[in-house]
């Protein structure tokens, strides 16, 4: 429980080199080093050293922090936009080959590339022509 409280405070678990972490103490202005080992974790806090427990609150904080990071990474990957490949060579309306990409349209089926025509080959009907 305390490990979770530590991990939820921004900046309290800092990833270092070679897989080590620096974890800020809840009670004092002090930082403990949590190091991964082949068979678990090691923490430099007195509780871990004196009591010889398998995991202290600082180790739990690191494990919880790693789980949060992994969850965020998975969620970001889920939201990644994948645009279906579409090779537009001419405008479907006027037949012009002069197309330029113009953003992405999103709907229930996914993201679709939008195009603008740079040079219209046939003039479109004006409003006055449509009244006739």
Q: What string of H, E and C letters represents the secondary structure of 40-107?
A: EEEECCHHHHHHCCCCCHHHHHHHHHHHHHHHHHHHHHHHCCCECCCCCCCCCCCCCCCEEEEEEEEE
In this structure, the answer to whether residues 56 and 92 fall within a common structural domain is no
For residues 122 and 64, what is the distance between their CA atoms, to the nearest angstrom?
A: 63
pLDDT digits (tens, 9 = 90+) for 72-84: 888 877 776 665 5
Residue 100 lies in a domain: yes
Residue 130 lies in a domain: no
Residue 105 confidence (pLDDT) above 70: yes
Residue 131 lies in a domain: no
* Whether pTM exceeds 0.85: no
Burial class (CB in 10 A: 0-12, 13-18, 19+), 16: exposed
Structural domain that includes position 85: 81-122
pLDDT digits (tens, 9 = 90+) for 41-66: 999 988 888 887 788 888 888 888 88
């Amino acid at each position: 429980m305390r490990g979770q409280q530590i991990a939820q405070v921004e900046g309290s678990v800092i990833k270092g080199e070679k897989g080590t972490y620096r974890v800020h103490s809840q009670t004092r202005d002090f930082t403990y080093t949590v190091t991964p080992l082949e068979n678990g974790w090691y923490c430099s806090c007195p509780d871990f050293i004196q009591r010889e427990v398998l995991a202290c609150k600082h180790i739990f904080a690191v494990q919880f922090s790693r789980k949060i990071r992994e969850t965020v990474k998975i969620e970001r990957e889920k939201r990644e936009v994948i645009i279906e490949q579409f090779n537009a060579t001419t405008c479907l309306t006027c037949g012009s080959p002069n197309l330029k990409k113009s953003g992405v349209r999103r709907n229930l089926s996914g993201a679709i590339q939008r195009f603008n025509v740079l040079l219209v080959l046939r003039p479109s009907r004006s409003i006055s022509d449509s009244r006739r």
